[in-house]
Amino acid sequence: GAAQLERLSGARPGVRVRRSFRARAGDLPRTPGPVPVPGTMKQASAAQDTSPASPPASPPAQPPRDDGEPRALWIFGYGSLVWRPDFAYSDSRVGFVRGYSRRFWQGDTFHRGSDKMPGRVVTLLEDHEGCTWGVAYQVRDEQVSEALKYLHVREAELGGYDTKEVTFYPQDTPDQPLKALAYVATPQNPGYLGPAPEEAIATQILACHGFSGHNLEYLLRLADFMQLCGPQAQDEHLAAIVDAVGTMLPCFCPTKQALGLV
């Protein structure tokens, strides 16, 4: 139930992500993205089985294939992967990991910024009291190698992220955790920017654009996702940056493309 989920997630009283800044920006619409709906989801596909059955929340370990890859793997996304995985998967679940907090401390010179103006994207910071919400995707059989190959380029080569195993608690079955692979940017990678005041991060986000779009879009889609997770989902760092953006936007004079995202 909700009480059990709140206990497991370690939700603490804090600032929720607010959208009042949209009114200050003219409340202009933006094209809706494929933000997941909390709960268990399956990837849309013309050839997908319409049966409502889903795999067990905690599947037994499976022997590796002949090429050394596991037959099934869960991948945890907490940044752009929550709305744009861009790899084939068999199942996906909204939930959280304990012991980590999400921070806009990683620099991005490709997807959301450039060499001259790096954008700010999220990584995970070890935090004993932390809780980070996101989406876990299950890949199976040939999907495993395809997803790992794609994510190695997107997250490791272009993003500076390393892999780490985390324990993921699905929102619908938090008492049945899963082992998942997460991509984490550590202070050792050359793109790491580290901590900064939320106002400074907001200013940087408003100014940056990369091959995947404006840095502001990245921030707002992540805020949209957190809204869908419900009142038990807290991210004070994200909320503070969103509020700072709302305060700065009327006098920042961003491009029409950035303003259209608000």
Q: Name the catalytic one among 69, 142, 146, 155.
A: 155
Which of 41, 67, 5, 50 has the alpha carbon at shortest distance from 138?
Answer: 41
Q: Residues for the chain: how many in total?
A: 262
- Burial status of residue 182 (CB atoms within 10 A of its CB: 0-12, 13-18, 19 or more): buried
- Burial status of residue 37 (CB atoms within 10 A of its CB: 0-12, 13-18, 19 or more): exposed
E strand segments, 48-147: 72-77, 91-108, 119-140
d(CA 55, CA 175): 16
Active-site annotation holds for 155: yes
Question: Look-up: residue for tokens 């996702």?
Answer: 225
Q: Helix or strand or coil: residue 242?
A: helix
d(CA 114, CA 207): 11
d(CA 225, CA 202): 19
Which of 74, 186, 196, 190 has the alpha carbon at shortest distance from 125?
Answer: 186
Distances (CA, A) of 117 to 24, 112, 193, 212, 221: 26, 9, 12, 14, 21
What kind and span of H or E run contains 148?
A: helix 142-151
Strand partners, 108: 119
Q: Which two tokens stand for residue 235?
A: 């991210």
- Active site residues per annotation: 155
